[in-house]
Structure 1
Amino acid sequence: MVNDYLSRIVSGPVLDAMKTNGRYDRHKLQYFHWRHDPFMPVEFSVAAYRLGHSMVRPGYRLNDAHLLPIFARKATPNEESLAGFRTPPAGRAIDWGRFIDADDFPRANDGDVAAKEHRLQFAYRIDTSLVGFLHDLPRSVAGDKPASLGERNLLRGWLLGLPSGQAVARAMAETPLDDAEIILGKAVDAPAVGDVVGPIVAAVTAAGGDGTAFEGNCPLWTYILAEAVKHRTPMTVPTVEGVPISTPQLGPVGGRIVAEVFLGLLFGDGSSYLSMDPLWKPVTGTDFGLRELVRYALGRGPALG
């Protein structure tokens, strides 16, 4: 299952470099090492694994109920939303078929509103953009300034002394991205006006900041996201449209950090399958993943064995 997850967000060549005869090999972990117990490196927790922030949608349908924003708009603070830190209201049971391709969805054209409302809600692509709700977090989530999640990520990385993305790339013997390759904006196939802001130095300068401060000195979080945009993989996903899209995946810096930490934690856990029975595989075959687990839990799939 971990391979199912990693193969979706990390580019294939990065994962292949950590395998022997098609299986993940602890001895192929080049950067994540521990003396007694595995741990969570700050480069992972403060930068690389915050890739998920760029994948958040502005709202979700938990079930057949109406679309809910992730946070209430400040102009309408009493608006029903998905904000946490409270007992879930009635009617919030999750239909996992909305989030995992455990169901068969009918195809629909753009005019079929009903089918679109019942489709699978894929995560947004990994890129250097965040949805509007994350630019102005509510006080229940961010009681202190700044209210922007992006600013909070960057400030946290600076306060903890994270090296730049280029410095980490060089330490990993990878050729760093040029400043012109670190693009701020959405990684969409057909960008509209405003979707792409531009290269980081020019974009910061145009916004009134000191763009020169980022010359060859990109924050690690931003660098990893921009690197993912450079490693796009064409694939067809089972949306109602069923059209191929270009999907960013973590590259040699971000992908290696994320994959090595996940695998290292599993190798370091004496009760994990990678430690106890590395040759085990479910009776359904090696393609078993989260989709198959959910289908089994819902009584729609075969026993795992």
Structure 2
Amino acid sequence: MTEQPMTEQNHPGRVLRDLSHGGIVEPTEVRTAVTRELAEVSTPFDYLFETIRDDPAAHLPDDDPAAIVAALDTLGRLMVESQPPPQDPFQSGDGNSTIPAVYTYLGQFVDHDITANTDRPNEIGHVTDADLHPALPADVIKNLRNLRVPALDLDSVYGDGPTFPGGPQTEAASLYDGITLKLGRIALMSKPGTPPIQGARIPLQADLERDVPRGVGDNPLQAGIGDARNDENLIVAQLHVAFLRFHNRTVDWVRRHEPQHTDEKTIFERARQLVRWHYQWIVINDYLATIALPGVVDQVLTEGNTFYDKRAGEVYMPLEFSVASFRFGHTMVRGAYDFNRNFGRQGHVLPSAPFDQIFRFTGKGGFGGQADTLPFNWVIEWDRLVEKDPRFPDHFSRKIDTRLAFALGEMANEIPNPAPGPDITAILEQLAVRNLRRGYQLSIPTGQAVAEVLNLVPLTQEELRQGNSDELNTHLANSGFLDRTPLWYYVLKEAEVQSNGNSLGELGSRIVVETLVGQVRHDPGSFLGRSPSWVPEDGVLLPDGRPILTIKDFLRFAGVLPTRP
């Protein structure tokens, strides 16, 4: 027996072609990122912990915002490694976790699928504001709107779907070729008049490895995908390609195995349902089980949510999640990757793929000035990011801790053109500084206050000092952050202290798991909302009949990872 698809979406999808991180633009430009009015396509933000939302003691002080902002800026800079990685980026060290690197970017993909609008100038302000200060929580709830539906429904991939004969023209129509999602070809040579691209040909899916077509709107380098943020670095961009290919292969699977779906619209809806359900299942049972403390996912699935629920009948995005806890993935980013046989171990071109190059060879970076689409020698080899082989510690993410890779302190890709003044540039290029400023501006409670609500023993001052440099510990003491710790920093330090950086700690696990499981549970179209007994064995299967249980299996079905015994 097969589950029947939804006949219509229970919430609107949208295409965010012009949305990116950072960017100094007017708040009204965010509204033009979609073709309908903001109120029609947005969903609410709110605070997860209402009992402390308006309690001044539960927040960083607001009596001298300039001093607090300066202290946060210093803290953010001290969190970043002070020098680039060694010449051998693959040397073993204590900075590697036990989490394969793919989960860093699966987390980024999830974030883009459920949240948009906190990283851009908006109705509350921007992290570069000269008079940055905490907004009243009531004003944040009233004025800040999420441009995504927090439901893990892949509207970042599907938008509002294809246009069917006799139906209305959809916003996402240009993303489709019939009921399949468009894919383009990689660049096999450089533009005329430029030096040839060096490197050995990679015998992978050479004609299906780029999220194109290009030439959308006025930007010839703009990717034809449902969320422009998924074209900001090569790893998340090619993960998006895997989702496009997974959908297209699922369409073929439905045609072969479920002949009761006869017309194109029904086939599409069934394929989309299956892709969404596999994705939701993997996020809950693979991703969350990997990054959270053991047992937390099972507890929330069996006992229900304790803190996260609908507000006024609506599913909302908790600010403590989106602005603080779920940003743990930033510390997992490596400064260099064993990317493929051209840019990796014994590489034909470089011994690794440096972080700046991963950003450079995207639509945002103009593909390094060499091609309109991805050069063939930058096709990712996913086995280098998914395998748990202890011989290659660099195939794992960095630990979840309070130390960020050097590259995240010099993010030139976040600087708009023309460049703003040096003060704004200094903020935009420092990821940790932006995170801490945003948390203060949006009145996110402290780690200690959240721990109390969760009935957890807060980290001690000694634990907050553990493993830090003398300079950092002096700053934590002088700034008062040992008593009132910014939630993002607290979540990272908790993971470092309680799990050696190999998973989130108690507080971080609870917020992240409750939020994501709760959002799937409250979506009537999800597998938890529509068919809680559904398991991957009831969905599409690998060629050998095995179910899709992990992101590795997902990549195999998509055809971007070789199928092995």
Q: Given the two structures, how large is their TM-score scaled by the length of structure 2? A: 0.40
Identity of counterpart residues, as a percentage?
31
**1:261 equivalent among 480, 492, 515:** 515
Is 1:161 equivalent to 2:447 in the alignment?
Answer: no
Residue in 2 that maps onto 1:300: 563
Q: Once the 2 structures are TM-superposed, how far is the Cα of residue 36 of structure 1 from its aligned partner?
A: 2.7
Q: 2: distance between equivalents of 1:286 and 1:300?
A: 13
Structure 1 portions without partners, runs of 5+:
72-79, 109-115, 186-195, 233-245
Q: 2: distance between equivalents of 1:51 and 1:184?
A: 18
Instruction: Give the conservation status (yes or no) of the 8 Å contact 1:6–1:259.
Output: yes
**2:324 equivalent among 47, 54, 67:** 47
Instruction: Give the conservation status (yes or no) of the 8 Å contact 2:446–2:484.
Output: yes
Q: 2: distance between equivalents of 1:151 and 1:124?
A: 19
What's the RMSD between the two structures over aligned residues?
2.7
Q: 1:196-241: CA deviations, max 9, x gaps? A: 426xxx7242x5x762511311110010011112222xxxxxxxxx
**1:225 equivalent among 484, 492, 498:** 492
Q: Once the 2 structures are TM-superposed, how far is the Cα of residue 81 of structure 1 from its aligned partner?
A: 4.7
Length, aligned pairs only: 247
Q: 1:246-293: CA deviations, max 9, x gaps? A: 553212211111111111121122221111221122237888211222
Residue in 1 that maps onto 2:348: none
Q: 2: distance between equivalents of 1:296 and 1:286?
A: 10
Q: 2: distance between equivalents of 1:166 and 1:251?
A: 14
Instruction: Give the conservation status (yes or no) of the 8 Å contact 1:49–1:258.
Output: yes
Instruction: Give the conservation status (yes or no) of the 8 Å contact 2:400–2:502.
Output: yes
SS of equivalent to 1:18: helix
Instruction: Give the conservation status (yes or no) of the 8 Å contact 1:98–1:121.
Output: yes
Structure 2 portions without partners, runs of 5+:
1-281, 344-351, 368-373, 417-423, 538-544
**1:32 equivalent among 298, 301, 308:** 308
Q: Once the 2 structures are TM-superposed, how far is the Cα of residue 86 of structure 1 from its aligned partner?
A: 3.4
Q: Once the 2 structures are TM-superposed, how far is the Cα of residue 156 of structure 1 from its aligned partner?
A: 0.9
Instruction: Answer with 1 or 2: which has the greater Rg.
Output: 2
Amino acid at match of 1:258: V
Instruction: Give the conservation status (yes or no) of the 8 Å contact 2:286–2:551.
Output: yes
Bigger helix share: 2
Q: 2: distance between equivalents of 1:120 and 1:17?
A: 32
SS of equivalent to 2:529: helix
Instruction: Give the conservation status (yes or no) of the 8 Å contact 2:401–2:501.
Output: no
Show structure 1 runs of 4+ deviating over 4 A: 284-287
Amino acid at match of 2:563: R
**2:395 equivalent among 121, 124, 136:** 121
Residue in 2 that maps onto 1:86: 365
Q: Once the 2 structures are TM-superposed, how far is the Cα of residue 30 of structure 1 from its aligned partner?
A: 1.1
Question: CA 1:250–1:285 in structure 2 vs 1: closer, same or farther (change >3 Å)?
Answer: farther
Is 1:68 equivalent to 2:339 in the alignment?
Answer: no
Q: Once the 2 structures are TM-superposed, how far is the Cα of residue 51 of structure 1 from its aligned partner?
A: 0.3
Q: Once the 2 structures are TM-superposed, how far is the Cα of residue 153 of structure 1 from its aligned partner?
A: 0.9
Question: CA 1:301–1:8 in structure 2 vs 1: closer, same or farther (change >3 Å)?
Answer: same
Question: CA 1:212–1:87 in structure 2 vs 1: closer, same or farther (change >3 Å)?
Answer: closer
